[in-house]
A and B are shown apart, each in its own frame.
Chain A
Amino acid sequence: DTEVTQTPKHLVMGMTNKKSLKCEQHMGHRAMYWYKQKAKKPPELMFVYSYEKLSINESVPSRFSPECPNSSLLNLHLHALQPEDSALYLCASSQDHYEQYFGPGTRLTVT
């Protein structure tokens, strides 16, 4: 089973709202990732968690705040976003940073 789940599927939020994206995997993977993908572009890495510790932050603005409560869960807290942050947000997981399996994504629209 290579399933990664993400909620919600779609999210519309205003620039003053606070919301969270959630990701869950039950494959026993020890690495989890957040990516951002704009239309017709490849996924861009945002954050990497390895053994529940943040190991990579790709200079992401502080309005995005990741959290890894346990080895199966990954959250992305959103606050004061800009319209240009509208994108598909993808979560992925892997065992030992090799094959990465993506969730279905959350389509975020910032109004």
Chain B
Amino acid sequence: QKEVEQNSGPLSVPEGAIASLNCTYSDRGSQSFFWYRQYSGKSPELIMFIYSNGDKEDGRFTAQLNKASQYVSLLIRDSQPSDSATYLCAAITGGGNKLTFGTGTQLKVEL
């Protein structure tokens, strides 16, 4: 079982819709979770982090964490074509100084 799992996609949503990206993790000791956005040919960009159960909102982005279910999600409201990218879920594992990535979900926002 991979430590951090995501569906590879592609996930296609129409412009203006809500995109929902999901991630599960296996290490119950993980406490810190991150979402990175990566455009093709570019480096990952940190867009959200969440450490506590519940929701955390930042602009059009909402991160959700459920430690009991070992589940992290990212909601993107009012999706725009510029949101089309690969979204990487990551968790701190291995005792606290290693960031483990999921394989990423490709999001396509269609006009």
Interface stretch of the complex, out of B43-51, B59-67, B71-79: B43-51
**Contacts of B46 on A, CB cut-off 8 Å?**
2, 99-102
Q: Is the CB of B97 within 8 A of A43?
A: no
Specify which of B34, B43, B88, B102 is in contact with A99 (CB 8 Å cutoff): B34
Specify which of A42, A48, A56, A98 is in contact with B104 (CB 8 Å cutoff): A42
Bitwise, A35-54 to B at CB < 8 A (1) or not (0) is 00000011101001010000
Q: Is the CB of A48 within 8 A of B98?
A: yes
Verify if A90 is at the interface (C-beta below 8 Å from B): yes
**Contacts of B104 on A, CB cut-off 8 Å?**
42
Docked complex Cα distance between A100 and B32 (Å): 12
Verify if B103 is at the interface (C-beta below 8 Å from A): yes
Q: Is the CB of B92 within 8 A of A42?
A: no
B34 → A minimal CB distance (Å): 7
Q: Is the CB of B97 within 8 A of A97?
A: yes
CB closest chain-A residue, reference B51: A98
Verify if B99 is at the interface (C-beta below 8 Å from A): yes
**Contacts of A90 on B, CB cut-off 8 Å?**
43-44
Q: Is the CB of B32 within 8 A of A98?
A: yes
**Contacts of A88 on B, CB cut-off 8 Å?**
43
CB closest chain-A residue, reference B6: A42
**Contacts of A111 on B, CB cut-off 8 Å?**
none
Q: Is the CB of B43 within 8 A of A45?
A: no
Interface hits, A23-81 → B, CB 8 Å = 31, 33, 41-43, 45, 48, 50, 55-56
Bitwise, A93-106 to B at CB < 8 A (1) or not (0) is 00001111111110
Verify if B81 is at the interface (C-beta below 8 Å from A): no
Q: Is the CB of B101 within 8 A of A42?
A: yes
Identify the B interface with A (CB < 8 A): 32, 34, 36, 42-46, 49, 88, 92, 96-99, 101-104
